[in-house]
Amino acid sequence: MRGRDSTVNNSPSVGPDALIALVRLLARQAARDFVAQASATDSQKQQHYNLARSVQASRRFAAHLAGERNKLRSLSLKNEG
């Protein structure tokens, strides 16, 4: 049981319309924050995809160069020997 010093006010100082408006405002803010976060996540996914593709291309190119070096080595060994 609460005493005289209770901080809870039992009188309806805020009407139901004000509470509904507050809930709607908070829901709109939460939705806006969610959309902003999802957009950032999409751009991060795009950056990761681009980076992964660049790494794959770099590896393919390095493998190509290694193959060409091996061909040149074999040609130079044939010419020497």
Q: 62 is in which domain, residue-wise?
A: 43-81
- Measured distance CA(81)–CA(74) in Å, rounded: 11
> Tokens for 54?
């660049």
Q: Is 30 a member of any domain?
A: no
- Enter the pTM of the model: 0.47
Q: At CA 36, angle to CA 22 and CA 31, rounded to 5?
A: 30
The number of domains in the chain is 1
Q: What pLDDT score does 36 carry? A: 81
Domain annotation covers residue 1: no
Length of the chain: 81
Q: Which amino acid, 9? A: N
pLDDT in tens, 40-64: 788 888 999 999 999 999 999 999 9
Average confidence (pLDDT) over 23-35: 92
